[in-house]
Structure 1
Amino acid sequence: MLFKPASVALVAACASCALAHGSHDQTPVSGPHKSLWYNTLPGDGGTQADAVFSGISTFGRLPYFPCLSSDEEKYDIAFIGAPFDTGTSYRPGARFGPSGIRQGSRRLNLYGGYNVPMKSNPFNFWGKVIDCGDIPVTSYDNHYALQQIEDGHNTLLTRQPYTSASEPGISKSGKTLPRIITLGGDHTITLPLLRSINKAYGPISVIHFDSHLDTWKPKVFGGAPSKQAAINHGTYFYWASEEGLLANDSSIHAGIRTTLSGPSDYDNDGYCGFTRVEAREIDTIGIPGIIKRIRDRVGTTNPVYLSIDIDTLDPAFAPATGTPETGGWSTRELRTIIRGLEGINFVAADLVEVAPAYDTNAELTTMAAADVLYEVMTIMVKKGPLTKEVSHGEYVVGEDVARLLAEAEKMEL
């Protein structure tokens, strides 16, 4: 391409401006290694940061604090691992999911963490986000392990947040609470997490991304030879419904494409309070229709729990999972759908069923899991603290989400 002389002068001027003033007021990432900082230009200073491929892994290289051994550190969003996989029916290995997701998240803020479609930076916002490590979970006793997960999660969920602690919130206590994002673990962990949520918020609406229903009756899925065997990663929503943890008829599955024991499985799913968006519907109603279907089901004022099974993605994009099913969505499609949920009152979330041993050397699944949670984290940041005013006030979604919803309306979905 040929430049006119005026264009050359303009490019040179812009280059000089960038050298003099930096790029968009960005500052270099700093770190703990003051002795390793080498001044290369007059006026340089600061500390040398770890490279993204070095140092201890936390989610997105967030600060780590042992939240379960000390309550001295406050936060608005906390990541916590639940390394449990003895409720799985096919491939074990999700106990390594939390560490795998953290490994896959290392480069999330390599360039500063700014989420371009969401026009927000979840690593640099109004509050504080940290990684609290993992809940200690026994691998020898499922009953005790699920109690550990419930207690650990509730301990973190019910603390005072870093921001707006004195503001009235939407919890049962009337307080504003922090948000917790849990790294699984197989999907059984969602039952103790919902028990924890119920203590803080009461019955809750759930958006469930998965290829499977997970509302099966124990006698259908697993045979229920004992009380503990009846609780597994295919029945936990059945038990959540039986225990009154789910708000009536306000929950939805998205990405479903499993085989069934028969049509009655769908009847039981409805009994548990769910409706569905099948994975194949992306070919008919498209991404805008899926987003609208989800938003219409759960609304934007009630508290909502988000649970994401990585097997929502097609195995081509996420092979490392406990029960893979072909015919799923791409990573790009799922991330777009997640972004379309902006403005919903997410009080907590989990991402489960990542089993790194089945991944490729390129870490496809763990990177996809980390990127999906990056979108979830951004949505929570954009919504603001879970105060009563923010949660029940009018919320204007971003341009991209508004466009997708407008497309759905044109299709009369």
Structure 2
Amino acid sequence: MFKSVLALVLTLVLCLPARAQSQSISLIRDTEIETTIRAYATPVFLAAGLDPSSVRIYLVNDRQINAFVAGGQNLFINTGLLVQSENAGQVIGVIAHETGHIAGGHLIRVQEAQKRGTAESILAFVLGTAAAAAGRPDVGAAVMSGGQNIALRNYLQYSRTQEGSADAAAMKFLDETHQSAQGLLDFMQILSNQELLAPARQDPYLRTHPLSQDRIEALADFVAKSPYSKVPVSPALERQHQRMVAKLRAFLDEPGMTMRRYPESDQSDEALYARAIAAHRAADSKKSIVLIDQLLAHHPDDPYYYELKGQVLFESGHPLEAVGPYTTAVRLLPDAPLLRLDLARCQLATNDPKMLPSAIENLQVSLAIEPNRPFVWRQLAIATGRNGQEAESSLALAEEAMLLNKPAEAKFHAGQAEHLLPTGSPNWLKAQDIIAAVDQAREE
């Protein structure tokens, strides 16, 4: 399910001034889009000698073209870059370039950052956005003041030497994966057209990644010589790209704009997809379901169409009807934590006690994959509480409180769980661990 992480101040964000409330960063979680970006990035990460599972990718809801790494192996990509990209090759090229920065350690400059007083700003940004992604799927935040935005931009400002090094690494990674660097060259040429604009009107990517004619010429020379420059991006990845762009536009733009961009005369899958989303956002759930069913008639094993159908039904006030489509989506993608969560939410919303065991199982699977999500622990507490599992409910509330940095509350709930659980059981030991962690933190 496509979810925007709304702007809301979290206690995890470090003591920001009052003016921070005027600017914010919001993240987007979506299984399909995250899977697409992972498909682009994984070969590049492997070529760079990185463990793909160790690189965290965040989608930033911002219309400006930007992508950057921060806090080590954290890759941030703006929706504006994805929507304005002309093809998958351009996005892959940008990911390869940013991977060059990660592999080169270009942002491991802690001592330098501390001298400038910017380490706190970076920490607030990285922890804040990570907290937003890990918390409720529909609520979370990382709020930065105007001053901190400047500090962040200065911290992320690469030197021309580092940019050249990242370009060289990107070329190497793309060649090793038998992919063309033409997309990266095209992206650089698009940015070069902005150089004559006033800095305030330039996309952030250009301001933090200084561009030079030498870089473009070096990249063009490489493209002219590489044996893989004419290799097209796989049709499967291009189809994923078109769907991703259509989905982002449909969720982020006004429904009327989406309908004009994807008119009724366009019967392509991405156009039907976009119109289905736009119809739902315009509160026309019947039309949305008709369009989704049209897609499913041609693609009966597509988990994301079932996911969208479940979302439309659930958000239209029909949780019982939504259970079926979400169940099919989970069957097709059993290891997708967001889908497991969404199915569990529908099951809980039916208020049918018979669905509680399945809801609990889905929430447990989701947490096994993404354990640092307070909202999911809260849902598990609700589900187990309704199912008469008081000890397990208290333990889930303790886990939630720990993630929200509420030690007193965490210790209270863990104490309740410890009292109710069999001594020596795995959950009893977890409760003791939480109590010990709180006590140790207080001593420090």
User: Fold conserved (TM > 0.5)?
Assistant: no
Which one has the bigger helix percentage?
2
TM-score, normalised by the number of residues in structure 1 = 0.20
Which one has the bigger strand percentage?
1
Using CA pairs under 8 Å that are at least 6 residues apart, name the structure with larger relative contact order, 1 or 2: 1
TM-score, normalised by the number of residues in structure 2 = 0.19
> Computing the radius of gyration over CA atoms, which structure comes out larger, 1 or 2?
2
